[in-house]
Structure 1
Amino acid sequence: MRICLVSKSLAPFTGGDLGEYASRMARALADAGHEVHVLTAPQPGLTVPAAPELPGVHLHLVEPLPPALGGAFPHPPIRHAMQVYEALRALHASHAFDVIEFPERECEGVFAIRAKRTLGHFASVVLAVRLHTPTADLQQLNCVAALTLDTAQQEFFEAASIREADLLLSPTRALLERVTQRLGLGDTGTVAPRTRALLERVTQRPGLGDTGAVVPPPFARALPPVSSAPPSTPPRVLYAGPLEYRKGLHVLIAAMQSLFEKGLRAEVWLLGDDTPTGPGGRSLRQWLERSILPAWKHCFHFEPRPTESQLAQAFASATVCCLPSLWDNLPHELLEAMAAGCPVVASDAGGMAELIEDGRSGRLFRSGDVAHLASVLEQTLGTPALKDSARVASLCAPNHVVKQFEAAVARAAASQPAKSAAQRTRSPGTPRVSFLVPYFNMGRYLPETLRSIRAQSFTDYEIVLVDDGSTDAESLALLDTLQAPDLRIVRKPNGGLSSARNAGLQVARGHYVLPLDPDDLIEPTFLEKAVAVMEGTPGLAYVTSLVAYFRESPDNLVGGWVPSGMDRDALWVVNVASTCTALMERTLLLELGGYDEWLTSYEDWDVFSRMAERGMTGTVIPEFLFLYRLRHDSMTHTLRLNERQQMLAWLSQKHPALALDAGRALRIQQGEAHRLEARLLGEIQAAMPQPLLNRVADRVNGTLKRFDFLHHTLKRAARVVAPDESRPIRHQIMDRFLRRGGK
């Protein structure tokens, strides 16, 4: 087979379990005779297309995105995922892969997997996702409650890659069950009919719920056995791995201190880098060190992450290796220790209990139970240690792992359904798609928008142009010149954007509608691709694409935006589903009641919220097919703070049960408020000249006090930038900030 492993981390150039797995799996597959490629990020010391550390493996690096579109991906993992997709398109064209495997972590495969579902790319390839422990589970296990919109999108994309992959692989049954249960992949009876077909396709994927999907990591014993070194005096308890809360190190420290109180003499070595998973997002190491009583501080030793040779020496000198995790998958350090013949003690939560046979190849204790861990450690330190390096060799032997992988891929390849567009009936003489173009004093921009519509490769459409009471002479005169067979003009008194869209919706004849503002543009293939996705994927309520921003000319791209899709928790805070330019069934939009005419903005957000509340879903084509024009006088930029607050309040009142997890939605909102506070402070300090700070509009001070975090931010900024001046500006700063914020 031609196999491509995608992994941003790659040992020995970067550390961590993901890098170790990618390196060892690549070598194992290459040794078995497969053509193996690895797509990774640039690493210090890494040479391509081949590296001495990975003989027989072809290495490739992702390339940076064009600067104009890089701004669409402010969150590095999402940007890297798009770089992966672009690189894979070129690599697959020249190598024709049979299987591509992605880690679920940091959603490296989400755009490639979506491209297969929406665009037909990689149609003959098995796209596999291997679980390592998703970000959402890591956050929960590490008691990290803070959640930004970026992290929420990463979590959502990781879940999407798991749901939509052709094959789901897991090193342990415990992790597979944890993830599928959290995502509800085994429950299709409680979802709406429109999405049930999609979920049933996902849950019937080969390997899910089948032991064939549990493929452990390959491991070839390379470390010297402990028996070659003399026993340490005093006994040495070793932990190796990151210093994270989920690793349960506080349980180990408490257990060892209880043994010290009983007279045991031993040393505890904690080898790993610190992380901000302590209380309040602070240093875990400092929190652990504070929990150690002064009498026993000399017994505990903290050291940074060791090199491979240092880790070998550590196992050789250890009496026992302890992994006290509150929950864990299958830590690389556990495999290393067992393969080296070092006795191991580990918690029974997660995948470690699948590797360790309690009382034979190591000892297990009840996760989180300090007394039980102390008892097990005391027994282990006081009796001949249990060692069983053959256990790792039997379960993780590279040739055995490769055979399991080959079998799982073969089943997935045999089960891939042929994708064919659904045949829909239509009435003779009616268009397939109706463009809804609201128009109010947009004569300057409309001709270019109409040209982009008429440049579509899919030509079965009509254009419904709704003049919403234009008053500009130039715009009115333009309407008289627009007679064309594909265009119908509806005139009405001014009623706002929602009213104009509703008027167009009432007279539209198409099976689908596509709203398009008269200053925006779409790429020539937008309609062709969106219709193909909608008709080839049952259950979708809408189809949209990535968004590129431009000023004046579409050749002048200045960034963009990546809609996530129907993340209901995030949708309660921000319109992550789509822009208004999304293909939808006309009858569905009518059933939903059309657009809310009370809303002067965010009317599309409201529509997607109503879809989400009914259990509907949509998808986002991973290409920049929609071009959004940035104008200083656009509705988004001129929306004032109090108007924005009114619109958001109305949406919240209409959709109080939108979020599936209200706590998660509130955490996203808090994260966005904190980010806005930090950004606003930076705007004030970096962009505002000092004299301007003296002209704060006191008349809005009372309004901003209701937004406590903004009020105190402005006060701090005034003290930092102009400590000796009285503070005025509130209104001007807020207007400038909101206008620059755009969508």
Structure 2
Amino acid sequence: MRLCLTSSEVAPFHGWGVGACTTHSLRALRDAGHDVHLLADDLPGLRAQALSALPGIHVHTLHAQSLHHVPCIHTKRPLEIYRRLLDLHQRHGFDALLFNDFYADAFHVLRARQTMSHFAGVAIGVILHSPITLLRRINRQTECDLEVAAITHMERACFRLADVLLAPSRAIVRELAATPELQSSVPPESSPRVRIVPYAYDAALLRAPNAAPAGSTPRASLDAPRSEILFFGRLERRKGVETLIASAASIMPSHPALRVRIVGVDTDTAPGRRSMRGWLRRQIPPGLADRFIFEDNQPREAIAGLISGAAAVCIPSFWENYPNACLEAMSLGALVIGSDAGGMPEIITDGVDGLLFRAGDAGSLADALGRALRDPACAVMREAAPRTVARLCDPGLHARQIVAGLEEARPASRSVGVASPARVGVIVPCFNLGATLPATLDSLWSQTRPPDEVIVIDDGSSDPATREAIDRLGHPSLTVIRQHNQGLPRARNAGIARATSDWIIPLDADDMLAPTFIEAALHAASLDPGLGVITSHMACFTHSPDQPELEYVPLGPDPEVLRVLNCVSSATAMVRRELILAAGGYDPEMVAFEDWDLWCTLLARGVQFAIIPQPLIFNRMRPNSMLRSMPLMEQQNLRARLISKHANLPGDATRALRIMLGESCHFQRLWFESQHRQDAGPPPLRHRLADKAHQWLADLGLAPALKPITRALFEPASFEPRA
């Protein structure tokens, strides 16, 4: 099988959680004889060391800054992945594609297959590590903004559209099914779309050069007194480190030599989004602070040494999937004490190869810690632990399970959709836009599948040049309607009433369509006859559509987000005429946002939407456009009307409120920062030096490799987004 795995983390270059899982899987599949490709971020050292670190694996990297014109951070990476994979697939012909779940890397690949038949016949699998939506719930991060909401929407779409979900534990499937934002998209564990595939694990990846093989620790070392409990991992709320602190503190009077070492990067997941490390320090009882040692991330060989010297490695999480830290510690012969939440009971058999305690129960954990410090039987558990990992995480078995899941899920190649016999009409309202109208109509006459009818509505233009331009129009498919000025919604409704086509495309008189828009939209309709609205990405330009300044990437019909902003499309989309008429057409009182209003109505009626992940709509940005010329108070009035009108949209209204609050805080923060810059005068020297260094690296083409160094030199430390 020829397959490609996409990952932002690859050990040993970045990430010892998902990164290690990625590298283990790549090696297992390679050793099983498959043609294995990796598409990864341009990680420092990856291209230079790929041959030595990942021999026999074809390594490809994402093109840095290739989508600088896409403003939305949350959609940029999946879009870059899709376009890079499309190029790679044309050259290599993949049988299967594998993606991690978090940040929805597969989103645009799946959207392209759904609408454009790209990757037809290719099995697409999503590996269930722990999606961002789930981690935020367990971390009790209830705040939300548009980026967070978008990530949830995209992860949900990936779970719904993927051919197979590869879960290392049964616990992750059950937990996702119980997560309100995701449960409608995750099939049950019994579904043929779900395969339980424990991670592959090879301790050689993590072993220091001179270390003994896994499980070969001398017996004398196993029996030696140990007095340190080790935790290593990200300091997040979900990791349950406060339970470890409370339980260890409770037994320290009877174990005067006991120390707890807490190793990991800080995060802002403590209550109030404060430092988790600072919050944990405040949980330590007075007089015991010197017995809790906090350290930042350590090199993996140092971690291996800490594991070997600890009485036990504690994983006190409120929930875990199939933690790599547990596999790493057990493979090195450590006694692991894990909580019974999530997938750890699928790894540890209590009293046989490790110890389990009730998640969140400090008393239960204290009992397990006491046993680790005094029970001679724990030495036998340490000896059994590496054998357990070798049995559960055998690389050969892992490769066979992945390939079997992909082969069984591989869809039959779908033939290219037959051209639909449906009629397509384009509605073009025009008010004083005679200068741009000819280019708009030329884009229609240039369609690879021409429209069956084009209706131009002169909405009482007062500009003589516009009236003359409309008078000169002539085409067999063209109809002109003249009316006194009634506003954009009524003008569109007049055109729709006159039309006889099955599908309607509203198009503003200053916008254009790419030559393949109608053909592509009809192809999408042929792939899914249940679709009612089909649109695409939009290239925004000022002077020429050949020189777009940004690419608008619609998120899609998310009911919570749609309460806050139009996340579906501009007015330009191919919509079934019967659906527009059944909805009552465009609301004449919505003198702006009338398209947003219609999308809300159609979504509430259960209409299905699709978005083609290519910029097939050209939007002309004009400083004097209708919306830009509208006073903010009028816009606020219309948005308030829209929210009130669609109060019964499906979804969680409180989530929409949290999104609004998040965006409000975001803009307040930007305002305060701008005021601070004005009050503070010129930026600090380190900022100016960093800006110059970044620009210099970009000019030389060295930014991807050396930018982390300039950050370390000139910029303050910040929290890492994810281990």
Q: Tell whether the structures are fold-level matches, with TM greater than 0.5.
A: yes
Partner of 1:294: 286
Q: Counterpart of 1:5? A: 5
The equivalent residue for 1:643 is: 634
C-alpha separation in 2, matches of 1:576 and 1:88: 25
Alpha carbons of 1:210 and 1:370: their partners in 2 closer, same or farther (altered >3 Å)? Answer: farther
The Cα offsets for residues 145-177 of structure 1, whole Å up to 9 and x where unpaired, read as: 222212211221121112111221111111122
Residues of 1 paired with 2:338 and 2:311: CA distance?
14
Task: State the match for 1:525 in structure 2.
Answer: 516
Range moving further from structure 2, 537-546 or 210-219: 210-219
Q: Partner of 1:559 in structure 2?
A: 550
When residues 211 and 509 of structure 1 are mapped into structure 2, their CA distance, relative to the original with a 3 A threshold, is closer
SS at match of 1:555: coil
- Secondary structure at the counterpart of residue 279 of structure 1: coil
Shift of residue 305 of structure 1?
1.7
Report the residue type matching 1:341 in the other structure: G
2:564 and 2:660 in contact (8 A); partners too: yes
Match status 1:441 vs 2:432: yes
**184 and 302 in structure 1: CA distance in 2 versus 1, 3 angstrom threshold:** closer
Name the counterpart of 1:86: 83
Match of 1:221 in 2: 203
Is residue 2:131 matched to residue 1:134? yes
Q: Which moved more, 1:104-113 or 1:623-632?
A: 104-113
Mapped pair 1:173 → 2:170:
yes
- Equivalences for 1:198-347 in 2 at 5 Å? 209-210=191-192, 213-222=195-204, 223=207, 224-225=214-215, 227-228=217-218, 229=221, 233=225, 235-262=227-254, 265-347=257-339
Structure 1 SS opposite 2:46: coil
Bigger mean CA offset, 178-187 vs 505-514: 178-187
Q: Secondary structure at the match of 2:549?
A: strand
For residues 148 and 237 of structure 1, the distance between their equivalents in structure 2, rounded to whole angstroms, comes to: 38
Equivalent pair of 1:232/1:317 in contact (CA under 8 Å):
no
* 8 Å CA contact 1:230, 1:317 repeated in 2: no
Matched letter for residue 144 of structure 1: Q
Task: Read off the aligned partner of 2:615 and give its amino acid letter.
Answer: F
Residue type of the partner of 2:367? S
Relative to 1, partners in 2 of residues 1:267 and 1:186: Cα closer, same or farther, differing over 3 Å? Answer: closer
Deviation at 1:467, TM superposition (A): 1.1
Residue 716 of structure 2 corresponds to none
**Structure 1 residue 551, shift from structure 2 partner:** 0.2
Amino acid of the residue matched to residue 402 of structure 2? F
| Equivalent residue runs for 1:334-733 within 5 Å | 334-383=326-375, 384-385=377-378, 386-387=381-382, 388=384, 389-413=386-410, 415-416=411-412, 418=414, 421=417, 432-658=423-649, 660-681=651-672
Alpha carbons of structure 1 residues 247 and 180: separation in structure 2 relative to 1, 3 Å: same
Q: Structure 1 counterpart of 2:217, which letter?
A: S
1:273–1:336 CA distance, 2 compared to 1 (3 A):
same
Q: Using a 3 Å threshold, how does the CA distance of structure 1 residues 137 and 239 change in structure 2: closer, same or farther? A: same
SS of equivalent residue, structure 1 residue 623: strand
- 1:283 and 1:501 mapped to 2: Cα distance? 54
Taking structure 1 as reference, are residues 639 and 622 closer, same or farther at Cα in structure 2, changes over 3 Å only? same
Amino acid at match of 2:82: Y
1:123 to 2:120 alignment:
yes
Structure 2 unmatched runs, 5+: 208-213, 682-723
Tell me, in whole angstroms, the C-alpha distance in 2 between the residues paired with 1:32 and 1:517: 56
AA of the residue aligned to 2:202: A
Q: Measure, in 1, the Cα distance between the counterparts of 2:489 and 2:193.
A: 52
CA shift at 1:424, angstroms?
6.5
Counterpart-to-counterpart distance in 1, 2:415 and 2:387:
46
46-55 or 563-572, which deviates more: 46-55
CA distance in 1, matches of 2:229, 2:586: 65
CA distance in 2, matches of 1:209, 1:504: 47
The secondary structure found in structure 2 opposite 1:478 is helix
Tell me the C-alpha RMSD between the 2 structures. 2.3
Q: Is the contact between residue 64 and residue 83 of structure 1 (CA under 8 Å) also seen in structure 2?
A: no
Q: CA deviation at 1:258?
A: 1.4
1:527–1:152 CA distance, 2 compared to 1 (3 A): same
Q: Distance in 1 between matches of 2:549 and 2:593?
A: 23
CA contact (8 A) 1:49 1:59 kept: no
Aligned residues: 665
Contact 2:532-2:608 within 8 A present in 1 as well: yes
Change (3 A) 1:41 1:594: same
* C-alpha distance in 2 between matches for 1:48 and 1:522: 43
Quick one: percent identity of the two aligned structures? 36
Residues 1:48 and 1:97: Cα distance change in structure 2 (over 3 Å): farther
Q: Which moved more, 1:584-593 or 1:611-620?
A: 611-620
CA distance in 2 between counterparts of 1:282 and 1:489 reads 62
Question: How far 1:440 moved relative to its partner?
Answer: 0.6
Map Cα deviations across residues 450-499 of structure 1 (whole Å, 9 max, x no partner).
01111111124211111111111111111110122111111112111111
The separation in 2 between residues aligned to 1:286 and 1:682, in whole angstroms, is: 25
Residue 39 (structure 2) aligns with = 39
Q: Which amino acid aligns with 1:20?
A: A
**Secondary structure of the corresponding residue to residue 350 of structure 1:** coil
Cα deviations across residues 301-332 of structure 1 (Å, max 9, x unaligned)?
11112222111101110111110111111111
Partner of 2:69: 71
Residue type at the aligned position of 2:285: L
Where 1:52 maps in the other structure, the secondary structure is helix
Q: Distance in 1 between matches of 2:42 and 2:338?
A: 35
1:58 corresponds to: 58
Q: Distance in 2 between matches of 1:687 and 1:292?
A: 42
Give SS of 2:370's match: helix
1:39 aligned partner, one-letter code: L
Asked if the contact 2:136/2:142 (under 8 Å) is kept, the reply is yes
SS, match of residue 534 in structure 2: strand
Q: Distance in 2 between matches of 1:113 and 1:249?
A: 38
| Matched position secondary structure for 2:546 | strand
Secondary structure of 2:426 counterpart: strand
In the TM superposition, residue 523 of structure 1 has moved relative to its aligned partner by 0.6
- In the TM superposition, residue 687 of structure 1 has moved relative to its aligned partner by 9.4
Distance 2:414 2:307 in 1: 52
The Cα of 1:557 is off from its aligned counterpart by 1.4
CA distance in 2, matches of 1:529, 1:391: 53
CA distance in 1, matches of 2:606, 2:33: 47
Equivalent position of 1:717 in the other structure: none
Deviation at 1:501, TM superposition (A): 0.9
Secondary structure of the residue aligned to 1:666 is helix
Provide the secondary structure at the position in 2 that maps to 1:556: coil
Distance 1:579 1:647, change over 3 A: same
- Structure 1, 623-632 or 304-313: larger mean CA deviation: 304-313
Give 2:53's aligned amino acid: E
Q: Please state whether the residue corresponding to 1:281 is helix, strand or coil.
A: coil
* Pair 1:7–1:186, CA change in 2 (3 A): closer
**TM-score calculated relative to the size of structure 2:** 0.88
Structure 2 Cα separation of the partners of residues 569 and 316 of structure 1: 49
- Structure-2 change in CA distance of 1:364 and 1:575 (3 Å): same
Is there any run of 5+ residues in structure 1 with no aligned partner, and where? Answer: 188-198, 427-431, 691-743
Change (3 A) 1:16 1:234: closer
- CA-to-partner distance for each residue in 1:195-221, whole Å, 9 max, x for gaps? xxxx8xx959xx863496111111023
Distance (Å, rounded) in 1 between the aligned partners of 2:614 and 2:419: 25
The structure-2 alpha-carbon separation of the partners of 1:522 and 1:592, relative to structure 1 and needing over 3 Å to count, comes to: same
| SS across alignment from 1:107 | coil
